[in-house]
Each structure stands twice: as structure tokens, then as C-alpha cells.
Chain A
Amino acid sequence: GENVEQHPSTLSVQEGDSAVIKCTYSDSASNYFPWYKQELGKRPQLIIDIRSNVGEKKDQRIAVTLNKTAKHFSLHITETQPEDSAVYFCAASRNNNDMRFGAGTRLTVKP
């Protein structure tokens, strides 16, 4: 089955700096890669996703890149703000019924 690894486990940046979180996956048939943000005490919520027919996707300060050959994908947050502080999870699946999540990255943005 799919195995997703996520790094780093914790990340601390200064407000205004960029943050990058990286994930690798094992199943070359995986074709859907969502990123979820979970604030303390709240449910995970999708912030961006990418499918295997696209190499990059951007939504304001958030972007995701996908390298199918190397089987890795990354989340980029620019101009970070304190409200970006949360745990971020990457995930990979073939058909959404076998979603496997990374271990999460705790991002802290210091004002």
C-alpha cells in the first residue's frame, strides 16, 4: 500500500519568511495529493490539492509542486503570518478510498 513520509516534523519561521514542507510517496499510481491544515482543537481542512496531470498549482500565498518521477510533492507558503501557525498534513491516494497521510508538520510563525 501507499506510504507517505513528511518532513520536517516541526518548522519555525519568522513572520514574512517562506515555509516549505516536503512529502514523498511510494505508490506510483497515486494521482491525488491534498494538503490539509489543522489548527489547534479544530478539524483538518483542505488548503490546496494537486492531481498528477499538473506539476504546480498556486492559490495566493500557497503553492504546491509535484514531481511524479521522483514521487515527491511540496507545499510552499510565502509571506507567512502568525495565523498560518498550525499542523499541516500531506496525503496521497489513487482514488480517494485509500488516502494515506503524512505524519504532519507543526508550523510556528513567530511575530
Chain B
Amino acid sequence: ETGVTQTPRHLVMGMTNKKSLKCEQHLGHNAMYWYKQSAKKPLELMFVYSLEERVENNSVPSRFSPECPNSSHLFLHLHTLQPEDSALYLCASSSLGNEQFFGPGTRLTVL
């Protein structure tokens, strides 16, 4: 399953750190997504990029900053996170209006 890849797979960071999550899709899709998965909210849509433009930001705190430099790459920049931000962050991609394919996720722990 190499259509959507994410790095790193695991990340431990302190509250004052700055880190970035990376997602790459090799499926020729034109939309990419960030989801947060935790015990409290199993699959929570964070950001959507369609044709490289952000189309939705579900009231996500500004300490999460997405970047989509092209249709194949998506980043999530993290800055001064809180322990409650610890979760699995999943990236997905799709052709507009069709099935979303998920990456393996990054397991983030904020100390």
C-alpha cells in the first residue's frame, strides 16, 4: 500500500517544539486532506485542499498550519502544541467526488 505515504510514522515533541508532518500521494489525485484521529473524536476533518487551494478549515487552532505546495504533497506544520493534541494524524487524497485513500498516519505524542 504505497499510494499515500506519510512521514514520520511516529513523533514525540515538546510543547515548545516546531515540527512538520509530510504526506505524499502517488495516485494522481487532485484533493488532499488532513484528519485527526483520537479516542474522543475518531475521525475529525481538519483541512481540505482541492486543486492546491484550501477549501475548508474546520476551526482548527492556529498552532496547526497546513501547506500544499503541489497536488502530490501536503504538510502539516506544528507549533507550540498542547498535550491534548496527541493523536494519530491521517492524510488522505482523492479525485474530487470520489473515494478517499488514507495514508498510514503519524502517531504524535506531545509531552
Query: Which positions in A face B, CB cutoff 8 Å?
Result: 32, 34, 36, 42-46, 49, 87, 89, 91, 95-101, 103-104
The interface size of chain B toward A, counting residues with CB under 8 Å, comes to: 24
25 contacts between A and B (CB under 8 A): A32-B97, A34-B100, A43-B90, A43-B103, A45-B102, A46-B100, A49-B99, A87-B42, A89-B42, A95-B96, A95-B97, A96-B31, A96-B94, A96-B96, A96-B97, A96-B98, A96-B100, A97-B48, A97-B56, A97-B96, A98-B45, A99-B33, A101-B42, A101-B45, A103-B42
Most A CB within 10 A of own CB, among B31, B102, B104: B102
> Closest approach, in angstroms, between the C-beta of B89 and any C-beta of chain A?
12
Count A-B contacts at CB 8 Å: 52
Bound together, the chains give a CA A42 to CA B19 distance in angstroms of 23
Q: Besides the contacts A96-B97, A99-B33, A101-B45, what 9 more A-B pairs have beta carbons closer than 8 Å?
A: A34-B99, A43-B105, A44-B90, A46-B99, A46-B101, A95-B97, A97-B56, A97-B96, A98-B45
